[in-house]
Amino acid sequence: MGLLEILAVAVVLFVAAAVAAGRGDRLAPAPPDGAEPVLPADRVAAANIEGLRFAVAVRGYRMDQVDAVLTRLAVELDRRDAELALLQPAQSEGAVADLKGAHRG
């Protein structure tokens, strides 16, 4: 084999290795997925959690795990809100009874 043939084979192998390693072609940056997820500043409700979506990143979180946690959190928030709704009238009645008892005594 001549020097020119060896050089041609080396160039072909180098180009093939560079393309296989991704150096021959750069991907453009991914466009943003949309607005950053934001929760309300005052009170978070289950509906706020259900609509959240996070941007996908190469080294980011697994979407199925994030979705499972957000679903569980939304269920827990609904349960908490239902319990609070049941407790609030009872607490108000107890406070009124305490005030009446203090006023009589």
pLDDT, averaged per 10 consecutive residues of the chain (105 residues), comes to 86 82 61 70 82 76 83 89 86 63 58
Separation between Cα atoms, residue 3 and residue 21, nearest integer Å: 27
Q: What is the largest CA-CA distance in the chain?
A: 114
Which residue's entry shows tokens 């809100």? Answer: 81
How many of the other CB atoms lie within 10 Å of CB of 49? 20
Domain boundaries, the chain: 36-104
**Residue 35: its pLDDT value, please?**
65
